[in-house]
Amino acid sequence: MNTNKNNIDYTLISIILLLGVVSVFTIATVEPTLPAKLAEQHFLLKQIIWYIGGGIIIALIMLIDYDRFRQLTWIFYGIGMIMLLMLFFRFPGSIIIEANNAVSWIAFPLLGTIQPAEFMKVILVLAFAHVMYSHNNKVVEQTAKSDLWLLAKMVLLALPPMALIAVQPDLGGFLVLCAIAGAMILVSGIRWRLIFFILLVGLGVMGIIIAAYFIFPDTVAVFLNESVFKHVTSRFYGWIYPEQYSDSGFQLLRAKMAIGSGQLFGKGIEGMQVSVPERQTDMIFTAIAEQFGFIGSSIVVTLFFLLIYRLIHIAIQSNDSYGSYIVTGIVGMFSYQIFQNIGMSIQLLPITGLPLPFLSYGGSSTLTYLIAIGLVLNIHSRTKKYMFE
């Protein structure tokens, strides 16, 4: 299959370019307000470089038939797992970096700091798509046994990276992988009865955990504080009672203050007066809301809506199930991260430290999102259209 130049999705490219412009512009206005130590890191210049590098990677991805990536799936998966395992080997002079009580970064010479969990998102999408495609092509007659076997393979595939990311601890990255898995299970062909049963079991487990918290709050709090997930407790209390827990709720309080102060039209480019931690990364939406108010925020949300809509359209339009699976996983990844990031900025959801796709500063995250878009453009460009389809 050759790329059809007339089948390049310029609408999707335009949306990404607009989001890139918003990202660069917002970081440029945020950078002068950051503490001197952070301002010296040249976030704006680095973000532009990451976008240029990502654009080159997209061009390279477009040259290769996306079906070829299926043959390299286990190589990608192995590399991703090795990088995640490297995070647990810390010693004097180690290239492993710890920040905000999480061990999630590797410092490579020349390349800079890399976050393996970000790249694992796209790798897991490719792995799921490969397993689903191979399974459904081999199954002659779908049965409950074949559905359970496919589900078991997907769970076994997802558990290792999920576990390694969860114990870093990186709750945000773990939940993104859960969202990817959930989206791809929905289109895997598994009977809805089995999916509903899994949902009921999941809701039951959540109900038991919530009930245990309210019945034995002290016991549950002690358990969390003594486990690797002790940060979950402080974030939970900081989300529910930010005024009472000023340490863990400080970022949320400042975020709400910044967003609220923007009102309808915003304060303008020079109007940022509220200091919000991690404003160039996880809390970049607060800068947009403060500068451009509800109107500017709504435009950004609309761009994200158009992005998700376009991705869903491409997934449906693809006449190759493998391509549809990949795009569906990418839809799950973007949808959850957008909802989570904006939701945590307005206290709709607890803060989990997830960047806002295409807007937040970050090399690993920006490259991951652009790689994902490269795959989608590749799939769309190789989707054949038939007159009597």
Per-residue pLDDT at 244 exceeds 60: yes
Mean pLDDT to the nearest integer, 139-146: 84
* Cα atoms in the 13 Å half-sphere on the side-chain side of 347: 20
Mention every residue, 6+ apart, whose C-beta is less than 8 A from residue 136: 150, 188, 189, 321
Neighbouring C-beta atoms of residue 21, cutoff 10 Å: 11
Mean pLDDT to the nearest integer, 118-128: 95
Neighbouring C-beta atoms of residue 386, cutoff 10 Å: 6
**CA distances from residue 11 to 8, 331, 341 in whole angstroms, order as listed:** 9, 16, 24
Mean pLDDT to the nearest integer, 341-358: 90
Residues 326 and 126 sit within 8 Å (Cβ to Cβ): yes
Edge-first strand order for the sheet with 102-108 is: 96-99, 102-108, 112-114
C-alpha to C-alpha distance for 215 and 20, rounded to whole angstroms: 48
Mean pLDDT to the nearest integer, 124-143: 91
CA nearest neighbour of 2 among 60, 57, 62, 71: 62
Which has more confidence, 9 or 230? Answer: 9
- Characterize the bridge pairing of strands 96-99 and 102-108: antiparallel
Per-residue pLDDT at 212 exceeds 90: no
pLDDT band, very low/low/confident/very high, at 1 (cuts 50, 70, 90): very low
C-alpha to C-alpha distance for 112 and 99, rounded to whole angstroms: 15
Per-residue pLDDT at 125 exceeds 90: yes
Per-residue pLDDT at 202 exceeds 90: no
Among 51-55, 65-69, 122-126, 218-222, which is the least confidently predicted range?
218-222
Which has more confidence, 244 or 3? Answer: 244
- Rg over alpha carbons for the chain, rounded to the nearest Å, is 22
pLDDT at res. 218: 77
C-alpha to C-alpha distance for 42 and 28, rounded to whole angstroms: 10
Which has more confidence, 236 or 108? Answer: 236
Convert the pLDDT of each residue in 48-105 to its tens digit.
999 999 999 999 999 999 999 999 999 999 999 998 998 887 655 556 666 666 667 7
Helices 363-381 and 321-345: angle between axes, nearest 10 degrees: 140
Mean pLDDT to the nearest integer, 287-312: 94
Paired tokens of 357: 């796709």
C-alpha to C-alpha distance for 231 and 101, rounded to whole angstroms: 9
DSSP helix/strand/coil, 114: strand
DSSP helix/strand/coil, 45: helix
Mean pLDDT to the nearest integer, 144-160: 93
DSSP-H helix ranges across the chain: 10-30, 36-39, 43-63, 67-71, 73-86, 116-138, 144-166, 171-186, 192-215, 217-225, 230-240, 246-262, 284-317, 321-345, 363-381
pLDDT band, very low/low/confident/very high, at 141 (cuts 50, 70, 90): confident
C-alpha to C-alpha distance for 69 and 292, rounded to whole angstroms: 42
Per-residue pLDDT at 224 exceeds 80: no
Q: What are phi and psi of 97, to 5 degrees?
A: -115, 135
CA nearest neighbour of 151 among 140, 159, 160, 161: 159
C-alpha to C-alpha distance for 273 and 58, rounded to whole angstroms: 38
Is there a cis peptide before residue 92, judged by omega within 30 degrees of 0?
no
Among 148-157, 180-189, 204-213, 359-368, which is the least confidently predicted range?
204-213
Residues 76 and 371 sit within 8 Å (Cβ to Cβ): no
pLDDT band, very low/low/confident/very high, at 179 (cuts 50, 70, 90): very high
Task: For the chain, give the mean pLDDT.
Answer: 87
Mention every residue, 6+ apart, whose C-beta is less than 8 A from residue 17: none
